[in-house]
Amino acid sequence: MSHPIVVLAGGLSHEREVSLLSGRRVAHALRAGGHEVVEADVQAGLIDQLTALDQPVVLPVLHGGAGEDGALREVFELIGLPYVGSPAAACRLTFDKALATPVVARAGLAVPERVVLPHDMFRELGAGAIVELIGRRLGLPLFVKPSASGSSLGCQKVDDLKDLPAAMVGAYSYGRVAVVERFVSGVEVAVAVVDTDSGPKAYPPVEIRPDSGVYDYESRYTAGATHFLAPADLPPEVIQRCVEAALTAHQALSLRDISRTDLIVDPAGVPFFLEGNVAPGMTETSTVPLAIEAAGESFGQVLADLVARARARVQAN
Amino acid sequence: MDQVSLPEPRRDTRLDRYLDLYAQRTKGLKASAVRSLFAVANRPEVVSLAGGMPNIGGLPLDMVADAAGDLIRQRGPEVLQYGGAQGEPRLREQICQVMALEGVQAEPDDVVVSCGSQQALDLITRTFIEPGDVVLAEAPSYVGALNTFQSYQAQVVHVAMDQDGLQPEALRQAALGCRAAGRRVKFCYTIPNFNNPTGLTQSLERRRQILEVAAEVDLLLIEDNPYGLLTLDHEPWPALRAFDHERVVYLGSFSKTFAPGLRVGWAVAPHPIKDKLVLAQEAATLCPPVFSQHVVSAYLSEWDWRGQVDRFRQEYRARRAAMLQGLEDHMPEGTTWTKPGGGFFVWVTLPEGLDSQSLLATAVTNRVAYVPGTGFYADGLGSRNMRLSYCFPPPQQIYEGTRRLGEVLAEAIDLAQTFGLMAAPGQPERSDRSDQPDQSDQTEISVQPDRPAQPVHPEQLERFTHPAAPAPSDGAEPASPTGPTPGAPPEPTPLSIRSE
């Protein structure tokens, strides 16, 4: 008798809809492979629901909030449930761009020059002075994003310093800390990394070319609005740098099972780290399933292998 | 480290193999970050002041169940069979009786039953609109109507409203201006009673004036009236259709007075139009749902449905009171809102410097939801507005929702002031309700967005040129540029008006 795989999707974060889309695709892929799948949402009865199942493995595809900041994974560990994905501490580190970026920079990756500012700082010191300092230090254009959010929510490119205050307010709609980066123009690339018995394995870097020029929410989740190339249309040595950057980020951030690293490759062929993802999107328009399939592998089988690894981890303990 | 194996050939994809097959009119159908937040808003933890779901908890469900069961047991082969495209004759008779409450004199043959009045609107739009044709619509207007117009590639030209609803002179100028610019104006869409989203109602005098203008400029009116019987302060007023049979197509619905899940609405139209609608209905669905029609018919004949509407009104009065009290108690200075005499909605205008779209994420984090005002404009206005619904949550939840919203706005004001996007404390440049003279229970309100809708000028039509701006769906992002058009007339001072 097979033991169920609990695909946990939804939650209460701003990315609930994306998570539900991811969950549906993951559940479908696993069922197509003959696995017993239970689809669950984060709600008051979740713990009872999980503990009532016969030796389940949880596969969280929760984006944002408790799904990515490690909180729910702490709960799985409290219960003693095997789950797919990075441990709680690694999630906490990776989900917060303000914390993760210095870690990968120390590991040798190029990162955009940036400042990290809670909104209280603007109130206490005066926004005008700080905005001017940012402009002087980082120049233009800038990219503003919430420190802990996903799906490009609250993100905005700023070409004129007078637009920075509104962009900051937009980022603070999604959290109390915002990151302002020097905008790096170049080729946008996402690299999936999956742990295997022989170590972390990178999939072909996927080049992202949104029709609108900006890989925002609309470009991410409207089928057809973005042109993807897998592998990216880059020289082999640049591809190799992207792969190495993703593997480095995966290891430097102590990520486990599966991750996605987002990069911008500048005109000199240098990949800049933008962010790591502990719960990468698995929707019909997401890059991780695309990369896996472009490599000639079955998305469902890769997921099933990760479930088996999670189950084996608990049994080994 | 493992090396990646690079597959050949390179996969080059847009992840939608059907992309080249889609019609041009689908180009506006896009994912929306704002709309995605409504997935969270529907969770029970969130007080949703967003949706327009009627509160049907008080329906006589046993009676409805018995009626439905009896229909199947006693007349199953008939009520589960296909029916006529115009709708069941008995129901059309009853619809005429329902409309008589608002002064509409109609015969069953004037009526076309539809899958909710939304489908009637779709049939009308497909019957009249060719790509590029102009639809005049109140500013703001029902998002579902804007979506329908957009899906047929109509160009929506908004017409200003004031406290008495659609402005006749603005309507005249819009119609004449469009025609002078060589545009075909096919009809004007209006919600005379408790407009969605503003809650405002056309006065009787205003209705007469609108009909006069329509006659003068030879304009067809589409009167959408889902809320007319849900009046909370007075008896229902005569419909536009009550005064003019030839120039008004009336849309009605049982979704608000009975059950939206049955999807039964109707249109009443002049006979040439009616005949087209019947043919269009045949092409679209063969027939409206027969069983649903019979359930509605049984409900109307076997139940004191007017008494039921009275009970709905009582419930909505309590909900409206909770919302208006909550807004009074919790909204920050400079916020204004409408005071509807019925229907489901209150239209809130935020202080200058706040953006209801960007605030929605914070609101959802604080477990309250609303619909940003931009969804109710085809031209991107409404960023300072939000639609609040009082129809569904119980009164105490509505009040709690306004409290949470007040916290969100207070925080947003603090943030906007910090960044200089709003006047700092002590530098009020906004109206302060507490400073207003006593208005004898009238609330100072504004239906105008950050920039008032203008009577259209020929030069302005350029911003409505192809491709048709993708109209938003509920809570969606603005679809087209919002900036003023070169050559447009100067903007007047936003109107400040009073509720009924």
Q: Which two tokens stand for residue A223?
A: 């089928």
- Report pLDDT for B4: 67
Chain B CB contacts of A201 under 8 Å are 2, 4
CA distance B13 to chain A (A): 5
B 387-416 near A (Cβ less than 8 A): 412, 414-416
CA distance readout (Å), A265 to A145, A187, A208, B5, B434: 19, 5, 11, 20, 56
Each residue's pLDDT tens digit, B396-447: 999 999 999 999 999 999 999 999 888 776 654 433 333 333 333 333 334 4
Q: Distance between CA atoms of A101 and A114, rounded to whole angstroms?
A: 10
Contact yes or no for A76/A100 (Cβ under 8 A): no
Q: Which of A261-270, B31-40, B137-146, B186-195 has the lowest mean pLDDT?
A: B31-40
Q: Distance between CA atoms of B332 and B115, rounded to whole angstroms?
A: 42
Residues of A with catalytic annotation? 15, 151, 221, 260, 262, 275, 277, 281
Q: Write the DSSP symbol of residue A83.
A: B
Q: Which two tokens stand for residue A57?
A: 């493995």
DSSP letter string over B245-279? SSSEEEEEESTTTT-GGG--EEEE--HHHHHHHHH
Each residue's pLDDT tens digit, B239-296: 999 999 999 999 999 999 999 999 999 999 999 999 999 999 999 999 999 999 999 9
In one-letter notation, the amino acid at residue A162 is K
Residue contact B1–A165, C-beta within 8 A: no
Name the helix (H) or strand (E) containing B363. helix B356-365
**CA A287, A290, A296, A300 torsion-angle sign:** positive
Q: Determine the Cα angle at A123 with ends A119 and A128, to 5°.
A: 100
Checking if the pLDDT of B481 tops 80, the result is no
Residue in chain A nearest B357 by alpha carbon: A170
- Report pLDDT for A240: 96
Note whether A236 contacts B: Cβ–Cβ < 8 A.
Answer: yes
CA distance readout (Å), B162 to B28, B130, B178, B430, B491: 30, 30, 21, 20, 16
Name the helix (H) or strand (E) containing A168. helix A164-172
Would you give per-residue pLDDT tens digits along chain A (317 residues)?
A: 479 999 999 998 889 999 999 999 999 999 999 999 999 999 999 999 999 999 999 999 999 888 889 999 999 999 999 999 999 999 999 999 999 999 999 999 999 999 999 988 888 888 989 999 999 999 999 999 999 887 778 899 999 999 999 999 999 988 899 999 999 999 999 999 999 999 999 999 999 999 998 898 899 999 999 999 999 999 999 999 999 999 999 999 999 999 999 999 999 999 999 999 999 999 999 999 999 999 999 999 999 999 999 999 988 87
B 5-44 near A (Cβ less than 8 A): 5-7, 10-16, 19, 22, 29-33, 36-40, 43
Q: Which two tokens stand for residue B134?
A: 């102009």
Residue contact B419–A226, C-beta within 8 A: no
CA distance B37 to chain A (A): 6
Q: Which two tokens stand for residue B13?
A: 């994809």
- The 3-class secondary structure across B34-45, one letter per residue, is HHHCHHHHCCCC
Residue contact A173–B359, C-beta within 8 A: yes
| Predicted complex ipTM exceeds 0.90 | no
- Report pLDDT for A264: 97
- Report pLDDT for B427: 57
Q: Distance between CA atoms of A41 and A47, rounded to whole angstroms?
A: 11
Q: Measuring CA to CA, which residue among A181, A214, A209, A194 is closest to residue A289?
A: A194
- Report pLDDT for A315: 82
CA distance A45 to chain B (A): 13
**Mean pLDDT on B203-225:** 98
Interacting residues of B298 by C-beta distance below 8 A, sequence separation 6+: B67, B68, B70, B71
**Mean pLDDT on B344-371:** 94
- Report pLDDT for B425: 66
**Mean pLDDT on B146-161:** 96
Q: Which residues pair with A57 in a beta bridge?
A: A5
List, in sequence order, every beta strand (DSSP E) within B182-255: 185-190, 221-224, 248-253
Residue B483: which pLDDT band, with cuts at 50, 70 and 90? very low
Q: Distance between CA atoms of A150 and B343, rounded to whole angstroms?
A: 38
**Mean pLDDT on B191-219:** 97
CA distance A223 to chain B (A): 6
**Order of strands across the sheet that contains B345-349:** B336-337, B345-349, B385-389, B371-372
**Mean pLDDT on B123-138:** 98
Backbone angles phi, psi at B138, to 5 degrees: -55, 150
- Report pLDDT for A300: 98
Residue contact B419–A127, C-beta within 8 A: yes
Each residue's pLDDT tens digit, B11-25: 899 989 899 999 988
Checking if the pLDDT of B463 tops 80, the result is no
Neighbours of B490 (CB within 10 A): 6
Interface test with A, best of B4, B365, B422 (most A CBs within 10 A): B4
- Report pLDDT for B493: 28
- Report pLDDT for B426: 61
Checking if the pLDDT of B473 tops 70, the result is no
Interface test with B, best of A149, A173, A282 (most B CBs within 10 A): A173
**Mean pLDDT on B34-54:** 89
Checking if the pLDDT of B452 tops 70, the result is no
Q: Measuring CA to CA, which residue among A145, A104, A157, A138 is closest to residue A271?
A: A104
Contact yes or no for B267/B189 (Cβ under 8 A): no
Interface test with B, best of A13, A15, A17, A282 (most B CBs within 10 A): A17
Checking if the pLDDT of B466 tops 50, the result is no
Q: Which of A9-18, B152-161, B199-208, B320-329 has the lowest mean pLDDT?
A: A9-18
- Report pLDDT for B154: 97
Residue contact A229–B10, C-beta within 8 A: yes
Residue contact B1–A244, C-beta within 8 A: yes
